[in-house]
Structure 1
Amino acid sequence: MAELRNCPTCGEFFNYTGIRDVCAKCARDEEKMYEEVYRFLRRRENRAATIERIVEATGVTEELLHKWVRKGRLQPALFPNLGYPCDNCGKLTQKGKLCDSCTEDLKKDLRTFEAAQEFREAVVESDRGTYLAEQRKNR
């Protein structure tokens, strides 16, 4: 079922069906810009271009480039200097929502939390055993 939304680019109303997040007119404009960027990147001398260089040469916004990389339309394997910002620190990444550094930090924090939780459970369990032993002595 379609939902009526405002286009984030131009502000016009459009039926959002989950396929595109902009209106049909803006989608056509984005597609034209994508083709221009892709033509630019296909040239051998531009394959290693940075995001800043692509923006300068084509006039497309960084946000649009990030969107295309995130959706897989521009492959970082083919164009190694492309990426999108990490949701945590803003450093460019090419997969997932977090960069490798933030992912490792999160894993480390999770391991620390799990170790602390296991320690707390062991303390509670040892206290519980002591309590039961005391009850049996008193009988």
Structure 2
Amino acid sequence: MGEIKSCPTCGQLFNYNGIREVCANCAAEEEKKYEEVYRFLRRRENRAATVERIVEATGCTEELLYGWVRRGRLQTALFPNLGYPCDNCGHLTTTGKLCDNCTNKLQRDLNQFEASKEFRESIEKNERGTYLSEKRTR
């Protein structure tokens, strides 16, 4: 069963069913914009258009474009200059939430953290030491 939400675009109340984030009227408008953008991009001379160029030519918002790319409606294999902002730095990416640079930096930081953790544990182990008492018989 759905819940009543306010449309983030127009403010109208609608029955949210977990599929669309906007009311039916705004969804229809978004679909019209999508068709316009897709027709624009299908022309050979526009396939390598940047996000800024698409916004300028069609009047679509960047947020809508980013959402379509994120959901896979506009595929970056067909339109190479499309993407959506990295959640960390804002550079365009085509997969996941982070761009390649931020992913690599995060991986390096994690590796460094793990190495320093292992080093601290080995130092603590050596400081505790193991003292054996031997019984010497002569």
TM over 0.5: yes
Whether 1:13 aligns to 2:13 is yes
Q: Which of 118, 132, 137 in structure 1 is aligned with 2:133? A: 137
User: Paired residue for 1:117?
Assistant: 117
Distance 1:116 1:85 in 2: 32
Amino acid at match of 1:39: R
| Partner deviation per Cα, 1:25-57 (whole Å, 9 max, x = no partner) | 111110010001001100111101111111111
What is the correspondence of 1:1-139 to structure 2 with a 5 Å cutoff? 1-128=1-128, 130=129, 132-133=130-131, 136-137=132-133
Give the 3-state SS of the residue equivalent to 2:35 in structure 1: helix
What stretches of structure 1 move > 6 A for 4+ residues in a row? Answer: none
Counterparts of 1:126 and 1:20 in 2: how far apart (Å)? 59
Q: CA deviation at 1:138?
A: 9.5
Q: How far apart, CA to CA, are the structure 1 residues paired with 2:13 and 2:133?
A: 77
TM-score by length of 1: 0.91
Gaps of 5+ in 1: none
Counterpart-to-counterpart distance in 1, 2:118 and 2:40: 55
Point out the more displaced range, 76-85 or 119-128.
119-128
1 or 2, which has the higher helix percentage?
1
Letter in 2 for 1:27: A
* C-alpha distance after superposition, 1:73-116 (max 9, x if no partner): 00011000101110000011111101110011000000000101
Gaps of 5+ in 2: none
Provide the C-alpha distance between the structure 1 equivalents of 2:45 and 2:112, rounded to a whole number of angstroms.
47
What is the Cα deviation at residue 125 of structure 1? 2.2
- Count of aligned pairs: 135
Query: Percent identity at matched positions?
Result: 68
Alpha-carbon distance between aligned partners in 2 of 1:66 and 1:107, rounded to the nearest angstrom? 25
